[in-house]
Amino acid sequence: MAKSDKTQNPAKGDVQEPGRRDFFVVATYAMAGLGAAAVAWPLIDQLNPAADTLALANIEVDVSKIAVGQSITVKWRGKPVFIRHRTADEIARANATDITGLRDPQDDVARAEKPEYLVLVGVCTHLGCVPLGQKTGEVRGDYDGWFCPCHGSHYDTSGRIRKGPAPTNLEVPPHNYLSDSVIRIG
Amino acid sequence: MSAEKFQNPVVRWIDHRLPVFSMLDHEKYDYPVPKNLNYMWNFGVLAGMALAIMIVTGIVLAMSYTAHVDYAFESVERIMRDVNHGWLIRYIHMNTASFFFIVVYIHILRGLYYGSYKAPRELLWILGVVIFLLMMATAFMGYVLPWGQMSFWGATVITNLFSAIPIVGDSIVTLLWGGFSVDNATLNRFFSLHYLLPFVISGVVVLHIVALHRFGSNNPIGIDASGPQDTISFHPYYTIKDMVGIAVFLLLLAMTVFFFPNAMGHPDNYIPANALQTPAHIVPEWYFLPFYAILRAVPDKLGGVLLMFGAIAVLFILPWLDKSPVRSARFRPLFRIFFWLFLIDAILLGYLGGKPAEGIYVTLSRIATAWYFLHFLVILPLLSMFETTKPLPKSISEPVLGSSGRSA
Ligand code: HEM
Ligand code: FES
């Protein structure tokens, strides 16, 4: 287009100013590009969680029946959530750990609102396997918390990553106590 | 194209308006093929055949399959037990997927050995690597459909690879899942894409063939045909030769389907998916094992993911890594040794990918991973600079017919 401009206006000489026509071409492409992006967005965003999936996003759990030292697994957003009623020893060890050397340093108090009940998303932060250590008799790893068999990640009694490929601690899901014994997760 | 060459008046009438018969004729008779191709050149046709079998059996399977987390596993069991010949169709689909990969791996190795990726066939090679990537995506999503334990956990681990991407990783994984874990939304979209991608592959195969026909096949000697005395027509010479390969392929496939249908699968996939329990030892399908070994060889999450994708990415730039003007390994004594070492390394990686990631296996995986990349990024560039190659024959006919080579 720019070329035809030039041939039609020989009077302008050799210097090629960006003509009006060039401006129209660029503007047209820009508008078409915006239009294409606007159409593409719904097609991509429909892949994200739908409203009903989001609506199912919280559950309530009664923790009073979990004996000391026991754990239960509940399902939240399609994933396992671990709730462990920790023993005094487990709590003490979680607190005694010097966090400065940890991969993902975090105090135990920041992870458990009530130290007796530790609530964790039971999904290894490496590639998403469910770690072992919930049932009695299962391997709990070198730090007596949980052990992921997929690629060998060890978590401690606070669910913090201590050894293996996982980059971060087991996630603590958003939760709050509705009463002394009922927790709402999500 | 003159339509007169056809006897049948209907054919002539159609060809005059829509020259499909001329086009076919052109491929069959006018397309010159080097006369010295060996059986390694069968595998392209075999791959096409495997793709056709996958599409036919897949479309039929889809008629009885239900893409829902509550029904998928049972619908596949129903295909196996109740649907007429369902077991046969599913076993053909399952095993042809494995055969497809065997054939394509041999096809790729053929290209590596005879230097088929070199000028002027770089785009042909790159389109091949694109097909390979699409095949891997298709097979991965297909394996999720029966919704067994390996389906579910394979899907979980592989989609989680994307969470290694800094900052946006987690949002991408949520987008892939359509939820907060692998679930019904994931299964549905995987089915949709599993149905679509084989047709995308077919499209890229057409481009692959257009690029092939631009310069014709490479050959075991790796030099260009110097004239008509070096070539023969595709039909009947290579159609016959391809038939031999097809017969052997179908024989082996039938043997596997009827006598060892589950040999290449994993028994855990006959256990329904359970989101609360991971199998003790998860492994992907055998054809992904070398890449899985590379992933696990690296102690860092992002590093492992990058190297795994890098292992395929290097194939894209291979034509520019190996700059030796000599194509065929027959005339490259050192390259030939390193080719076989590379093959051993790739097989070793495959073996290690199936072993637990502990002790000696991790160390070996690291060495084998390092060698994989050294081969492409260091050894091949160095070889193309310093290797003394053997003298090339003057023409394709010469090694067979003596120095003149003209008598053909
Ligand atoms: C590139 C070609 C293809 C490849 C590599 C491929 C691969 C696979 C694999 C590995 C499975 C899992 C088999 C199992 O363990 O049960 C599968 C399942 C399935 N595929 Fe394909 N497939 C291809 C083409 C197609 C096409 C074109 C369709 C048509 C819709 C299709 C429909 C299905 C269905 C319905 C299933 C689930 C039933 C079953 O698991 O056997 N596939 N595919
Ligand atoms: S998924 Fe847990 S260690 Fe890899």
Partner B contacted by A160 (CB < 8 A): no
**Homologous superfamily, domain B26-274:** Cytochrome Bc1 Complex; Chain C (1.20.810.10)
Nearest to A48 among B174, B278, B299 (CB): B174
Tokens representing residue B247 in the block: 């017969």
B303/A contact by beta carbon, under 8 A: no
Quote the CA–CA distance of B197 and A103 in Å, as a whole number: 41
The DSSP element (H or E) to which B33 belongs, if any, is: strand B32-34
Interface contact B179-A77, CB threshold 8 A:
yes
Q: What is the DSSP letter of B19?
A: T
CA of B93 to the centre of ligand 1 (A): 6
All residues at 6 or more sequence positions from A89 whose CB lies less than 8 Å from its CB, including other chains? none
Report the alpha-carbon distance of residue B129 to residue B166 in Å, rounded.
Answer: 27
B170 C-alpha to ligand 1 centroid (Å): 28
- The answer to whether A53 contacts B185, with C-beta atoms less than 8 Å apart, is yes
Q: What tokens does B175 get?
A: 């987008």
Q: Tell me which amino acid residue B235 is.
A: H
Q: How confident is the model at residue B403 (pLDDT cuts 50, 70, 90)?
A: low
Cross-chain Cβ contact B181/A50 below 8 Å: no
Q: How far is the CA of B301 from the centre of ligand 2 (A)?
A: 10
- A129 vs B contacts (CB less than 8 Å): 153, 156-157, 278, 282
Name the residue among B26, B35, B24 with its Cα closest to residue B237. B35
What does DSSP assign to residue B39?
A: G
Q: Whose CA is nearest to atom 1 of ligand 2?
A: A127
Locus of tokens 């030769």: B241
> For A46, which residue in chain B has the nearest alpha carbon?
B178
B249 vs B50: CA distance, rounded Å: 10
Give the 3-state secondary structure of A163-181. Answer: ECCCCCCCCCCCEEECCCC
Distance CA B370, CA B78 (A): 46
Q: Tell me whether strands A161-163 and A175-177 are parallel, antiparallel or unpaired.
A: unpaired
Instruction: Tell me what the mean pLDDT of segment B331-339 comes to.
Output: 97
Tell me how far apart the terminal alpha carbons of chain A are, to the nearest angstrom.
59
Cα nearest neighbour of B277 on chain A: A130
Q: What is the pLDDT of residue A184?
A: 94
DSSP chain A: -HHHHHHH-GGG-S-----HHHHHHHHHHHHHHHHHHHHHHHHHHTTSPPHHHHHT--EEEE-TTPPTT-EEEEEETTEEEEEEE--HHHHHHHHHS-GGGSSS---GGGT-SSTTEEEEE-S-TTT-PPPB-SSTTS--TTTTSEEETTTTEEE-TT--EEESS--SPPPPPPEEESSSSEEEE-
Ligand 2 atom at minimal distance to the Cα of residue B157 = 1
Q: How confident is the model at residue B316 (pLDDT cuts 50, 70, 90)?
A: very high
Average pLDDT taken over every residue of chain A: 88
pLDDT at B249 over 60: yes
| Average pLDDT score over residue span B376-400 | 93
The pLDDT tens digits for B55-104 are 999 999 999 999 999 999 999 999 999 999 999 999 999 999 999 999 99
pTM value is 0.88
Chain B residues with beta carbon closer than 8 angstroms to that of A149: 278, 280-281
The pLDDT of residue B2: 47
Q: How far apart are CA B386 and CA A184, in angstroms?
A: 69
A78: nearest CB among B179, B189, B300? B179
Domains of chain B, residue spans: 26-274, 283-387
pLDDT tens, chain A, 186 aa long: 444 444 455 555 556 677 888 999 999 999 999 999 999 999 999 999 998 888 777 899 999 999 999 999 999 988 999 999 999 999 999 999 999 889 999 999 999 999 999 999 999 999 999 999 998 888 899 999 999 988 889 999 999 999 888 999 999 999 999 998 899 998
Which numbered ligand comes closest to the C-alpha of B73? Answer: 1
User: What class has domain B283-387?
Assistant: mainly alpha
Question: How do residues B123-172 score in pLDDT, each as one tens digit?
Answer: 999 999 999 999 999 999 999 999 999 999 999 999 998 998 999 999 99
CA of B142 to the centre of ligand 1 (A): 5
Mutation test of ligand 1: which of B105, B145, B256, B288 has the most ligand atoms closer than 8 Å to its C-beta? Answer: B145
| Contacting residues of B for A47, CB less than 8 Å apart | 175-176, 178, 189
3-state SS string over B258-280? HHCCCCCCCHHHHCECCCCCCCC
A25 lines ligand 2 (CB under 6 A): no
Identify whether the C-beta of residue A77 lies closer than 8 Å to the C-beta of residue B208. no
DSSP label at residue B148: B
Any A CB within 8 A of B210 CB: no
| Nearest residue of chain B to residue A43 (CA atoms) | B175
Q: Is A127 in the pocket of ligand 2 (CB under 6 A)?
A: yes
**Interchain contact A163–B (C-beta under 8 A):** no
Pick the residue from chain A with its C-alpha nearest to B171.
A48
Task: Using the mean position of ligand 1's atoms as its centre, give its distance from the Cα of residue B139 in Å.
Answer: 7
**Which string of DSSP letters, residue by residue, matches B83-147?**
STTHHHHHHHHHHHHHHHHHHHHHHHHHHHHHTTTSTT-HHHHHHHHHHHHHHHHHHHHHHHTT-
Banded pLDDT at B359 (limits 50, 70, 90): confident
| Strand A161-163 relative to strand A153-155, pairing | antiparallel
Q: Which of A124, A169, A170 to mutate to test the pocket of ligand 2 (most atoms within 8 A of CB)?
A: A124
